[in-house]
A and B are shown apart, each in its own frame.
Chain A
């Protein structure tokens, strides 16, 4: 009785998390839908509806108190990368045939289902593959080559010149990552925030990852709440027009204010904590701002767009769009505990100490 069902809830493929989450978001992908069925469309946006849609505009349902109704469980998995790969430069939307090839390439990289690395690599790949969300292996139905829609090249804009302090902090972080990847982390704080179970993909922007790409949206009069499955923090968003928290009250997930612009839910988030890794790709939490727009464009689809701006990090704002697809209500959200059974953090640290004892990792 004592050790029953310990396994199903926790667990984090740590090796993958480090690479795939916020540190190297260049490869991160999202979106789910049914690629084959979609007619070619020049505009990068929503997947085609299941039934041949009439030309009539979709009228989104409303809650009894009059807000556009976004309630439900939604999934944002896709293999389409955040940034357009150089192999697809100049091509924002693919033909059917090209899309098929692109999808296969991406799935190969994501699943690691291959035998070219010897037994040890094979075992590592198999472990990570166990967690793979099948929806994560398909590109978006609109066959885009990047989730980024602006700038037009599908790439994160260049950095502005960074202050010496920030350059130093980035170098420190890179050195810690190198130690971690070599199996030699010094202490817990050298690991990424997701590995430490502090924040995971529960912080905006929501980008697809290996698993737990579900989001349940709750609404009540005056509030929208987004509960990502990736960790148990619910993001409670007031819609009553109140001001942001004071400048000295900063949070891991920032502070979000929402409003409806027609049928679009517009979320503005500021007040991020200054801790390393809290905002996207080492941007500057003090000047970082993210604006998300959620529009229900069909019964089963939300168009999720986000714009990130930080004039002390990037030369210009940039925007990405990820379709969210409603999942069968029978497919429930489950609790994602993380810290409670974070065995890996001990394994990684004690493994590193063992390696040191054996004389590994000496410079």
Chain B
């Protein structure tokens, strides 16, 4: 359980000391994880690492998983610098999402239509618009890199809860659960297991309507995500997700970034219930006109 690879230690003085550069279990530590000195997380009574806490990503991947420059955001004539979106570097390993040639058109279409909605026909309800724009539950992995915190609740039962601030979404991770997702859902069906100090979560049964970002990166209902949460310091988890969807991508691909523990005194998860802010957008056209 503690045999994770010892890779490097950063000395206090800044000197880098290589300690036993083993690669035997290097799969457990991503390249970013290697930036941290070796670490053994505190344990809960069952002997597994304690991942409890309020965590948050600080990448801007919710805007675009790929490299993106700073942009004005929508309607700068109204929003000025308030509406601006920051630049960010790709979190995709290898830098490119391996789309099938035939699947790229849909991505472009999504981008063009990200701020359009039309709910006048049940059958076309989900055809237009970024789900985030409509305050829908974001799905996995997008929920992890939304610019909001989430809380991991890990006790002594066979279930770990992750509760997200955005749209009050949540999901239950069923540890060592056997069997398939009983039905599709927005946050999917999560089955967890421990691999050493890493919590591995296998997510299937996600609704096809969720997107990966505002840039229109998307998937089909064949999406299969495997997440890995590895404690790398008292204040960081390394997060990694492998994304597989043969309908849309030519091969599985991977994203990774650290999660930061929120450290403010008495910090707690608050509400971001955005539904009321979408009502005019979605339903305003059905309002009584004077």
Contact = CB atoms under 8 A, between A and B. Distances in A.
A363 to B, nearest CB: 14
Interface string B245-271: 000000000000000000000101111
Interface stretch (B30-38, B73-81, B162-170): B162-170
B157 interface: yes
Given A187-B283, A334-B185, A231 B168 contact: yes
A15 B268 CA distance: 36
B268 A236 contact: yes
| Chain A, interface residues (CB within 8 Å), range | 35 or more
Contacts, number: 149
Contacts of B279: 188-189, 196
B273 interface: yes
A341 B125 contact: yes
Interface in A1-54: 1-5, 8-9
Contacts of A99: none
Given A188-B279, A220-B52, A335-B187, 17 more contacts: A1-B221, A2-B208, A5-B183, A71-B159, A197-B275, A198-B273, A199-B273, A220-B155, A231-B168, A236-B163, A252-B271, A253-B271, A335-B171, A340-B131, A340-B134, A353-B288, A356-B288
A233 interface: yes
B288 A186 contact: yes
Contacts of A4: 184, 221
A171 interface: no
B275 A196 contact: yes
B286 interface: yes
A5 B170 contact: no
A343 interface: yes
B175 to A, nearest CB: 12
A9 B184 contact: yes
Given A4-B184, A5-B184, A242-B266, A225 B153 contact: yes
B136 interface: yes
A140 to B, nearest CB: 27
Interface centre among B52, B134, B159 (most CB of A within 10 A): B159
A339 B154 CA distance: 28
Nearest to A254: B271
Nearest to B159: A218
Contact of A337 (B44, B137, B221): B137
Contact of A251 (B45, B169, B187, B271): B271
Contacts of B183: 5, 8-9, 334
A234 interface: yes
A234 B283 contact: no
Interface stretch (A112-120, A123-131, A154-162, A344-352): A344-352
B168 A232 contact: yes
Interface string B195-216: 0000000000000110000000
A65 B154 CA distance: 12
Contacts of A63: 155-156
Contacts of B137: 232, 335, 337, 340
A3 B126 CA distance: 11
B182 interface: yes
- State the majority secondary structure of interface residues on A: loop
Contacts of A199: 273
B283 A335 contact: no
A225 B159 CA distance: 12
B287 A216 contact: no
| Chain B, interface residues (CB within 8 Å), range | 35 or more
Nearest to A2: B208
A314 interface: no
Interface centre among A4, A8, A188, A252 (most CB of B within 10 A): A188
A219 B44 CA distance: 12
Contacts of B266: 242-243
Contact of A343 (B52, B125, B156, B161): B125
B151 interface: yes
Interface centre among A245, A253, A337, A339 (most CB of B within 10 A): A339
A221 interface: yes
Contacts of B125: 341, 343
Contacts of B268: 236, 238, 245
A267 to B, nearest CB: 15
A337 B122 contact: no
Interface in A302-329: none
B136 A340 contact: yes
Nearest to A339: B275
Interface string B274-290: 01101100011011100
A20 to B, nearest CB: 20
B159 A236 contact: no
B273 to A, nearest CB: 5
Given A5-B183, A196-B276, A349 B269 contact: no
A227 interface: yes
Contact of A349 (B159, B220, B270, B287): B287
Given A220-B155, A232-B170, A236-B163, A332 B271 contact: no
A337 B209 CA distance: 13
Nearest to B209: A340
B220 to A, nearest CB: 8
B277 to A, nearest CB: 11
